[in-house]
Structure 1
Amino acid sequence: MAIENLFGDYLVNLAAELSAHVLAAVPGWVQPAWAGEETDTAVRRCLDAGIAAFVRRANADASAYTELWDLIFPRFFHDEAVAAQVARLLEGQNLNHRALQFMAAQAGYQPERFPALDFGAAMQEFEGAFLTQATHEPALQGLIQASQLLQQTQLLADTQAILEQIVALLQEVALQDITGITADSITATNVVSGTQIVYQLAPPTGPGRFPDHWESHYLQALLTQCDRLDMTPLAASEATTETLSIAAVFTTLYLDGATRSADETVVEALSPAPHREKRVPERREAAQHPITASEAIAALPRLVILGQPGGGKSTLVNYLAAQLARQRLGETDTALPDWAEGQAPLPVRIILRRFAEWLAAEKRRGTAGDVWDYLAYLLGRWGCGDSFAGLRHTLIESGGLVFFDGLDEIRDAAARQMIIKGAVTDFADTEKQCQVVVTSRPYAYTDKAKWRLPADRFPVVTLAPFADEQITAFNEAWYTRVMGPRRGWDAAQCQQRAGVLTQTLLALPHLRRLAASPLLLTLIAQVHGQGGALPDNRADLYRQMVELLLSRWENRIVLDARPGDDVPAEDVLWLGVPTEYLQDVLAQVAYNAHQRQGEEAIRGDDAEQAAEISRAELKLALVERFDSGEKAEQIMAFIQHRAGLLLAQDENTYTFPHRTYQEYLAAQHLLRQSDGQEQLCARVKAQPDWWRELFLLSAGSSMKTPKYVQDLVNTLLPFDPGHQEQPLTADVAVWASIAAQTLWETNFSYHVAQEKLPGGFTAVYRRVQAWLKAVMVADVLLPTAGRAEAGQWLARLGDDRPGVGVNRETGLPEIVWSAEIPAGVYTIGDNKSKYDDENPAILNVPQ
C-alpha cells in the first residue's frame, strides 16, 4: 500500500481490530468501574488518537517502507498480545515498550531492515496520544489517572503539543475522514462540503518553551554532584571549608595496551581486532603513541571502560562531566587537551547502582523510557526538575555525552543484565545521536557475561596503572593545589616536597608498586604530607595507610549521602561499628587467606596478588565478631561498592588492595595471639620466601618495643653457630638473613648502644652477626647468592672481622696483612698492548 493511500478504511481497520481485542483484554477487577457503552466508546476514541499519532510518527520516519504498511503494522495491531499490553493503560500502568518491541519483531519488524523507523518513538507517541485523549474523557476519569501516566511518559513539550493538536482535530473529524497524514499535517475530507482541509501540526514557537535558565540550573546542579574532590583521605587537621575542584589533582589516564601511530585516528586504533589486522605495514612499524582515556571518549560514540578498584574510573567520569559543564557555562581554563575546539556535548552522569535501586523501588523492568524517567526523578532530587524538558530536548535534538558509571556496583547479576541489555542498550539504540560510556570493574564485564554489549558497537578499553610520569604529575598537583595552600608553602617548597616524594616512590620497588594505583598513591601522598617524609619503617607506613583507608569507610556514608538524605547519627561512624573491631576481623581474614595462599604455593605473577576471600568466609568472620548476621550483611553491602581496605572483585569474592595490606594485617593478627611469635617463626622456617615480609612487618610494627623484636629473632635463631641443635644448612642461612634484615629495619643497633653492660639486646645482635659470618665462610655447600646476601647484611650490621672496615682513628682501611711481602721486584699493571692509558709500574721491595 502506498503511503498516499493511507486513509479512511486503513486507519479505521487498525483501530477497530485493536479496540475489539483491548476491550476483550480488560481484566475483571476493572469491570466494576466500567460504565458500559459509554466507557467502550471513550476507549475507542483513545485508540483512534493513538493510531493517528503512531501513523504520523511512522510516516515521518519511514514513509517508503511498503511492507511495513501492508503487512507488519496490520499484523502487529491485530495481535491479541499487543492488545493485552495496551490494556495496561486501563489498569493505570504505562506500556511495557520492551515487550512491544518483541511483539513487533514477531510481526516481522526488524530494525536493521527498516533503519529509518524509530518504532519505540512511534509507540511512545501512541501512548501519549491515548492518554491525552483519556484526560478529555469523563467516562475514564474514575478508571485511570491519565494525567499522572501521561507525565510519566516524559514526552517532549514539542511532541506533547502536537499530540494535543491531534486530539483536538479528532473531535472535529472522524478517523475514516482522514485522507492523509504527514509529520506536520493531517488532511481530512469535510463530510458536508466534500472539500479537503489540511490541518497543520506544529509545536509552539518563540520564548517560553523551556525556562531560560534550564541549562545553567542543571549544569550547576551537576557540578555540585561531580566536581567535589573527595578529601576524606585528609586528616581532620587538614580540613578546610574550601571546596576543591576535582580538576585540581586530576592526572591523565592512559589506556592499557592501546597505542596509535601519528597518522592513525583513535577510532581506527581502537577498532575491533579484525579491522586492526588490516592496518598497512607502515603503520604497524611506525612509532606508537599512547592513547588517553579522555581522547577515546571524545572520539568514540560508544565505549566501555574497565578499571581496577581505585583505578580512576569514577574520577574520570566526574572530571569530564565537570569540565564539560564548565565549558558550557562559559568558564575559561576548562579546555580538554584531547578534545576538538568547540566540542562540548551536554554531559549526563547516571550512577548505575542508584539507577538499579530506583528501578527496583519503581518495579521497572529497564527500558530506554526508564532512563528518561530516572533522569526526571534525579533532576527533581537535585532541585532542578524544571530543567528536564530542556535536557531531554537537547539530548534528542543535538546529542550529548551520557555516562553510565559503575556496572560492577550492581550486585545482583539479574539486575545487571536487565539494566545493560534493557535500559542502556535500548537507550543507545534509540538515542543514536548521544555518546554513551559505560564503566565497570573487569570482573563484572567478562567475555562470558550475559550482559556484555556487542563489541563492534561498544569497544572495550582498560585503564592502565600509573606510569612514572603520572606519579610525578600527581605529586606535583597534590602539593601545589592541596597541601601547599593548607600549609602556607610557596611554589618552590611545594615542588621540592613533591620531588622528594616522587624520588622515594620511584626508588623503592615496594612503594612503586603501590603508587601505580591512583587511590593508594593519594594515601601515600597524604602520609608524606603529614610528616614531610615517608616513614623509614614500612610497617609504620602501612599502618598509617590502613588507618586512612578505614577512615574512608567511616566518612563515606556521609559523603555518599544524596542531597536531602537524612543520615542517622548512629550511622555516621561506620554503621556504629568501631574501626578497631572491624580491623580485628580483617586481620583474622587476612591471616587465614595468606596462610591458605601459601599452602597453595602460588608463585610468579600471582605472588604479587592478594588472596581471594570468599563471601562466606568474610560473613562468618563478621558474624562471629559482631554476633549479627544483619550487621555482617550491611558491612558487606557497603564494601561491595566502595574502594576501601577490602575490595569486592565480584559478587562472592573479595581481596585487599595489594598483597602488602594482606601481609600487614596478617602480622597484626599474629601480634594479638599469645603464641604469635612461635606461629610466625614456624611459618617462616617452613616457607621463608612466603612469610618473610610478614615477619619483617611484625617486627616493624613493634619497633618501639625492642624486647618483642629480640624475642622474635631469638625464636627464629635460638642457638649460636656450631650448636648441635641448629647445624648450618641452606635453610638456616636464609633465616640468618631474615633475622639480619629484621634488626636492620627496626634500627636495633640503637637499643644495643643504649645497654651500659652487654645484655639481651647485645646478645641477639652478636648472634645474628656470628651466623652471617658463619654462612660466608662455611665449608658446607651453600648457594652463592645466599653467601653474598649474608655478606651484605653483615656489612650493614657491622662487620667486626679483623682487616674489615675502617680504622676509627685514621679513617683508613683497616687492612691486616697475613705476612710481610718478601723482598723482590714486582710489576703492577700491564702494558699498552691491552690498555692505552696504563703503563707498567715497577715496585722494588727492599730487604
Structure 2
Amino acid sequence: MNNAESPPPKGRRSRSGAALQGSGAIAQGNDAVALGKDARYVGRDNYQITLQQAAQPGASADELRQGYLAWLSMQANRLPLFVSDSGKPVQLASVYTALLTAGRDESRLHPATASSVRKTATGEPGEPERQSALEALDREQHLVLMGGPGSGKTTFLNFVALCLAGEILRSPGANLKLLRRPIPPEGDAPSDQPKAQRWTRGALLPVRVVLRDLAASLPPPGTPTNADTVWSFIVGQLPAQLRRYADALQAELLGRGGLILLDGLDEVPDARQRREQVKAAVQEFAAIHGKCRFLVTSRTYAYQRQDWKLDGFAERELLPFTRGQVERFIDGWYAHMAHDLYRISEAQAAAGAAMLKRATERPELRELAARPLLLTLMARLQTRGGGALPESREELYRQSVAMLLDEWEGLKLQRDASGQPIGVEQPSLNEWLNASRENIRRELDKLAYEAHLQQPTLVGTADIRQSDLIAALLAASRDRREVSPLLLEDHLRDRTGLLTAHGEGLYQFPHRSFQEYLAACHLARFKFPDELSRLARADPNRWREVALLSAAGFRNAPGSIWELVDALCTRSADPAANAPEADSGSQWGALLAGQVLHETGLAAADPDLQERHEIKRLRVRDWQLRLLRSSTLPARERVLAGDLLAALGETRQHLLDVDRMRFVAVPRGPFWMGDEVVHNAPLHRNETLSYDYWIAEAPVTVAQFAQFVAVSGYQGHAPETLNDPMNRPVVSVTWHDARRFCDWLSERWRAALPAGWSVGLPSEAEWEKAARGGVLIPPAAQRTTIDAGFTIAASSLQDNPEPQRAWPWGDEWDADKANAEDSIGETSTPACFSAGRSPYGCEDLAGNVWEWTRSLWGTDWQKPDFVYPYDARDRRREDLDAPDAIWRVVRGGSWGYLRGVARCGVRFRGLPGGRDGGFGFRVVLRSSPVR
C-alpha cells in the first residue's frame, strides 16, 4: 500500500465485503481476479496477468485501469445473499442464466399470457414478441430494466459488468462470449443451433453505482445535486489504491464512452427529497456523458409511478423464467457445486440436477421456480438437504422459512474474500432482543396473517410497515422496555432473508406464497378450523392457498384435516337433477374441501377409514359432480372439480365403462356444411347424409381406452396415453390407435348391434352435422346406450333456429362454453362446459381435443386435395386404406388453440401415425360401411 495514503478506518469494510487493507490477494470463483502483493492477478483457472501493484507510486494509467477492472470483477462476481454452506461464496459467472424481457407492447400483459405460445387461426404457432435483456440493452442507449423482487435485475447488471470487465482483462471465463450466450431453448423448440444474443457495443468500460448508497452520501435535503454529485460518489467508492485512476476514468467516459450501471432506483428513499436529488443528479450525469450508455434497475411497482420516471429512458420488464431457463440454471448450479464449492463428483452433480429438474416440474413448484431468487432458494435447500427436496409443498415452505429466518435473524458475519467468517458484525436478533426464536416466529406468523387479511389486492406480497414489524419484534422480547426502536430499526435495515426492505419504511416477504404459509401457520395455531373455513368460503381467492397450506401442516394428524373438511363442506349436495344451485359459499367450500383431501392424500377410498370420515369423503365427492355444471364457479374451477372427482372416485359410469357409453341420435336430413370465413371450406347445403346415425355424447376417455388396452392386449399406444385422470378424454392417440379401438368395440358389441351396423370414426360430414345440427332438429336430445338399443324415437322435427351457427351453441363466442384458447391449459372431463352442447346433446365438440375423422385431407398439408362441396358418395375421400403419407381431417379445435379453429366448419389435418397432446377421438354408430 502507498504509505502516503490513509487506510480505511478500522472496522469499515469495502462494499464488496472483502478487506482491502494491507497486502494479499482477493480472488473468487473460476475466473475472479484480484490485485495481489506480488503484482499479479490471481485466478483459480491459473489466469494471471503480471503488472506492478497499482497502488505503488508511478503505476501507469493502463495498470490502474487493469486494477480498477479487477476490483470491479471481484464485486460483480459475488452473490452476497447466497454464501454456500461450505463458507465459500456462490459465483455469479457460474450460475447466471440469460434473462428475457417483455417487448414494447407486451409488458401490459399478464406474464403467463405474454410468454405463452399461441396458435393462429390456421393452426400454425405464433410466438409473441420477447427480447433478451442484453439485446434490449444493446438497442437502447438509456434503459430502465424493471422487475419484481427476485426477478434478476441486479444479477443481470452485475453480470454485464463482470463480462465487460473480463473481456478487457482477457479472462477466458468471463467475457463477451459468456455475455452473449444464447437464451436457453424450450423443450419443444426447433433443433436448430441456438443463436448468440446480440451485443454490438464491444467491450465498454463499466462503472457500477448502487443508488441506495449514493442516496446515503448526498448533501443535506434541499441542497441542489448535479452530475458532480454522481462523479464524486464514483470516485469515493474506489479503493484508496485506485483513487489516482479517477481522472483517466473520467476522461475515457467523456471521450470514448462506457456503460454506467445504476442499481436500485426503487431503493432510494422517498423521504427528505432523496429521490428527487438522485433523479436530478442522474439526469444531468447522463446528459453530460453523451457517449455512454446507461442501465438503471428498479422494481416495477416503484418505477410505474410517474414521479420516478427518468426522462429519455426506455423501459423493459423482465419475464419469469421459461422451462429452458430453469433447467439451464439448475445445470449451472450443480456444475458449480461439483467444480468449486463442494467438490462433489460429476455423477452426484448430475443426479442432483436431474432430481431438482423433476421437482420444479411439480405444479406447486413450477411458478416459484420461474423466479430466479426462489429457484436459487430451492437449489440451496436441496443442496443443504443432501439432494432431495421435500415431497410436500408445506414441508418445502417449512424448511425454506427456517433457512430464510436463520439468515434474517441470525448473526451477521464479516467474511473474507473466500467466504470464511472473520468476525461478528451484528449479534442475532433473538440474542439482541432477548427473545426466543419461537416467539419471534410466532409474531412474524401473526404479522403475515394481518398483512394478508388487510392487503388491498390479491396479487403480490403485502407491504409491512416498519413500525408494525418493530412492534411485533418488541412483543417477542422479554426485555422490551430496554430495546430502543431506533436501534432496532438500524439493526433491521440491511438484513436479508425472510423479510427484506421494500422502500422507505416498508418490508415484504420474498414471495406471496411465504406470506400465505406464515398466515396459515398462525391460523392453524389459533383459529383452526372455524375461522379458517369461514375466511376460505367467503373469500376463496385470498384464502385458498392459506387453507391448503394450513391443512397440509396436519398431514400427520389426519383427524384435524377431517375437522377442516367438515367445516368447509357442511351439508350434502342436493341429488335432484333440477335442484336449485347452491349458494357461492357452499360451492367454494365443497371445492376447497376436495382440494384439501387431494393435497393431503386422503381423497381415495380407504377400507380402514372410520365410517364418520368416509361419510364426509363421499359428501365432498358428490359435491364435485354438482360443481361441474355450476354457473357460479369459473371454468377453471369446474375443471378442477372434475379432476377432484376422479381422485375421489368418478361416479359417471358412462365415462368409465365402454359398455355404458352414451350415444345421441342424429336423424337423417340436410344440413349446412362449411363456413363463410374458412377459405378451404365454403359454406354449402349438404343433402348427402340420407341416413340416421348415433354419435358418442363425449370423446373416448382415458378409462375407456385403458379398458380396451387391458382387455384386448393392445400395445401400440404411447405410455403417456394413459397418464391423465381417468375421466378426461384420451389424447396422444394416433388415427390407427383410434381405428383399433373402434374395431375392438365393434366385435365386443357384435351381438347387440343392429344387423349391418358397426363402430367407427365419424366422417367430417357426420361430425359437423352433429356439431351444428341439421336444417331440422328434434325438440330434445335422445340418448341411449348399447343395452337400451338404437331406435330413433318418432318425433316431429322442428326448424333449427341457427342452422349455419359458427359454434355448437350459436354465433357468439362464449369462453364459458368451450375449453379453448389455452384458458384452461389442459384437457377437461366432459360436462365442465355443458352449456356449450350441440343441438343433439354432444359434449365438447368445440375445444378440449381435436377429434380424428375417417375423412382424407390430401398430401399437401397447406392445401386439401379433397375439397367442397362435400359428397358422401365419393368413396375416395373416406378411403380407410389410404397410405399414411396422406393427411386425415381432424375437427373441433382443442384446449391450446384459438376460438377460430373451434368453429363447426373449420377443417384441420393430422398425419395418421402422428401423436399430439391435443388429439383424441369419439366414435359413431351407423350402418356399414363405416369401418
TM-score range, shorter chain: 0.5 to 0.7
Counterpart of 1:517 in structure 2 is 371
How far 1:250 moved relative to its partner?
0.9
Specify the SS of the correspondent of 2:529.
helix
2:543 aligned to which of 691, 697, 706: 691
1:405 aligned to which of 263, 278, 289: 263
Amino acid of the structure 2 residue aligned with 1:793 = L
Counterpart of 2:143 in structure 1 is 303
2:306 aligned to which of 448, 456, 462: 448
Unaligned runs of 5+ in 1: 1-206, 261-285, 601-605, 814-820
1:429 aligned to which of 257, 268, 287: 287
Task: Give the alignment of 1:240-251 within 5 angstroms.
Answer: 240-241=87-88, 243-251=89-97
Distance 1:635 1:311 in 2: 29
Amino acid of the structure 2 residue aligned with 1:694 = V
Counterpart of 2:778 in structure 1 is none
| Structure 2 CA distance for partners of 1:227 and 1:678, relative to 1, 3 Å | same
| Structure 2 CA distance for partners of 1:592 and 1:246, relative to 1, 3 Å | same
Distance 2:758 2:373 in 1: 57
Distance 1:671 1:506 in 2: 28
**8 A Cα contact 1:366 1:418, kept in partner:** no
**8 A Cα contact 2:261 2:294, kept in partner:** yes
Distance 2:567 2:589 in 1: 11
Higher gyration radius (CA): 1
Counterpart of 2:445 in structure 1 is 587
The answer to whether residue 67 in structure 2 is matched with residue 217 in structure 1 is yes
2:232 aligned to which of 370, 373, 378: 373
Counterpart of 1:660 in structure 2 is 513
Specify the SS of the correspondent of 2:321.
coil
| Structure 2 CA distance for partners of 1:791 and 1:389, relative to 1, 3 Å | closer
How far 1:312 moved relative to its partner?
1.4
The answer to whether residue 630 in structure 2 is matched with residue 701 in structure 1 is no
| Structure 2 CA distance for partners of 1:695 and 1:778, relative to 1, 3 Å | closer
| Structure 2 CA distance for partners of 1:822 and 1:515, relative to 1, 3 Å | closer
Task: Give the alignment of 1:323-722 within 5 angstroms.
Answer: 323-333=163-173, 334-335=175-176, 336-337=179-180, 338=197, 343-360=202-219, 366-380=225-239, 383-449=241-307, 452-455=309-312, 458-482=313-337, 494=349, 497-499=352-354, 501-502=356-357, 504-506=359-361, 508=363, 510-529=364-383, 530=385, 532-554=387-409, 557-558=412-413, 568=424, 570-571=426-427, 576=432, 580-597=438-455, 607-626=458-477, 627=480, 644-651=497-504, 653-673=506-526, 675-717=527-569
Counterpart of 1:173 in structure 2 is none
Distance 1:830 1:443 in 2: 59
**8 A Cα contact 1:484 1:494, kept in partner:** no
Counterpart of 2:43 in structure 1 is none
**1:175-199 CA deviation, whole Å, 9 max, x = no partner?**
xxxxxxxxxxxxxxxxxxxxxxxxx
How far 1:715 moved relative to its partner?
4.0
The answer to whether residue 130 in structure 2 is matched with residue 290 in structure 1 is yes
Specify the SS of the correspondent of 1:220.
helix
Distance 1:825 1:376 in 2: 91
**8 A Cα contact 1:553 1:574, kept in partner:** no
Counterpart of 2:851 in structure 1 is none
1:255 aligned to which of 92, 95, 101: 101
How far 1:326 moved relative to its partner?
1.8
**1:740-764 CA deviation, whole Å, 9 max, x = no partner?**
33233223479967x6xx65xx532
**1:704-739 CA deviation, whole Å, 9 max, x = no partner?**
23333233334445678899xxx9945445434433
Counterpart of 1:280 in structure 2 is none
**8 A Cα contact 1:776 1:788, kept in partner:** no
Distance 1:433 1:768 in 2: 70
Distance 1:591 1:311 in 2: 25
**8 A Cα contact 1:348 1:400, kept in partner:** yes
The answer to whether residue 154 in structure 2 is matched with residue 314 in structure 1 is yes
Unaligned runs of 5+ in 2: 1-56, 107-125, 181-196, 658-702, 713-748, 767-853, 855-877, 881-922
1:764 aligned to which of 588, 613, 631: 613
Amino acid of the structure 1 residue aligned with 2:324 = E
Specify the SS of the correspondent of 2:172.
coil
Specify the SS of the correspondent of 2:555.
coil
Distance 1:435 1:781 in 2: 56
| Structure 2 CA distance for partners of 1:321 and 1:779, relative to 1, 3 Å | closer
**8 A Cα contact 2:411 2:426, kept in partner:** no
**8 A Cα contact 2:628 2:639, kept in partner:** no
Counterpart of 1:228 in structure 2 is 78
| Structure 2 CA distance for partners of 1:812 and 1:700, relative to 1, 3 Å | farther
**1:107-128 CA deviation, whole Å, 9 max, x = no partner?**
xxxxxxxxxxxxxxxxxxxxxx
**8 A Cα contact 1:366 1:422, kept in partner:** yes
**1:395-430 CA deviation, whole Å, 9 max, x = no partner?**
344333222222222224444335424432333333
Specify the SS of the correspondent of 1:417.
helix
How far 1:227 moved relative to its partner?
1.2
Specify the SS of the correspondent of 1:232.
strand
How far 1:255 moved relative to its partner?
2.4
**1:371-414 CA deviation, whole Å, 9 max, x = no partner?**
33333332235x43344344344334433322222222222444
Number of aligned residue pairs: give it: 580
Distance 1:489 1:390 in 2: 45
How far 1:324 moved relative to its partner?
1.8
Amino acid of the structure 2 residue aligned with 1:224 = M
| Structure 2 CA distance for partners of 1:707 and 1:779, relative to 1, 3 Å | closer
Specify the SS of the correspondent of 2:209.
strand
Amino acid of the structure 2 residue aligned with 1:314 = T
Amino acid of the structure 1 residue aligned with 2:171 = E
Counterpart of 1:793 in structure 2 is 644
Amino acid of the structure 1 residue aligned with 2:516 = E
Distance 1:297 1:631 in 2: 46
Distance 2:135 2:640 in 1: 48
**1:551-579 CA deviation, whole Å, 9 max, x = no partner?**
44347944799999997554356883565
Amino acid of the structure 2 residue aligned with 1:706 = P
Distance 1:554 1:713 in 2: 36
**8 A Cα contact 2:581 2:630, kept in partner:** no
Specify the SS of the correspondent of 1:252.
coil
| Structure 2 CA distance for partners of 1:822 and 1:349, relative to 1, 3 Å | closer
**8 A Cα contact 1:589 1:621, kept in partner:** yes
Specify the SS of the correspondent of 1:511.
helix
Distance 1:531 1:565 in 2: 23
Distance 1:232 1:621 in 2: 27
Amino acid of the structure 2 residue aligned with 1:347 = P
**8 A Cα contact 1:590 1:665, kept in partner:** yes
Counterpart of 2:820 in structure 1 is none
Distance 2:571 2:83 in 1: 46
Percent identical across equivalent pairs?
30
Distance 1:595 1:330 in 2: 54
Distance 2:411 2:105 in 1: 36
**8 A Cα contact 1:554 1:574, kept in partner:** yes
Further displaced range: 406-415 or 617-626:
617-626
How far 1:517 moved relative to its partner?
1.8
Specify the SS of the correspondent of 1:772.
helix
**8 A Cα contact 1:352 1:406, kept in partner:** yes
How far 1:679 moved relative to its partner?
1.4
How far 1:668 moved relative to its partner?
0.7
Distance 1:565 1:360 in 2: 34
How far 1:698 moved relative to its partner?
0.5
Counterpart of 2:698 in structure 1 is none
How far 1:248 moved relative to its partner?
0.8
Superposition CA RMSD, Å: 4.9
Calculate the TM-score normalised by the size of structure 1: 0.58
